[in-house]
A and B are shown apart, each in its own frame.
Chain A
Amino acid sequence: MRIIIFFLFVFQLLLSQQALGKDEFLEVIVLDPFLEMHTGPAAGYPVTHVIERNEKIKVLKRKTDWFKIRTKKNKEGWVHISELRQTLTLDGERTRFHEYGIEDFRKRKWEIGLMGGDFDGAASLTVFGNYYLTPTLSTELSFTQAIGNFSSSLMANARIAAHPFPEWRVSPFFALGGGIIDTSPKGTLVQTVDRQDPIAHVSLGADIYIKKRFIVRVEYNQYKVFTSRNDNEEVTEWKAGIVAFF
Chain B
Amino acid sequence: MIQVLLALIASLAGSIGGQTGALVTQLVNTIGTVTLDKAAFDATIGPWIAWANGIVDANREPTPEEHAAANALADAIHANNQSLGSGGPPVPLPAPPTS
A and B from one complex: no
Taking beta carbons and an 8 Å cutoff, which residues of A are in contact with B? none
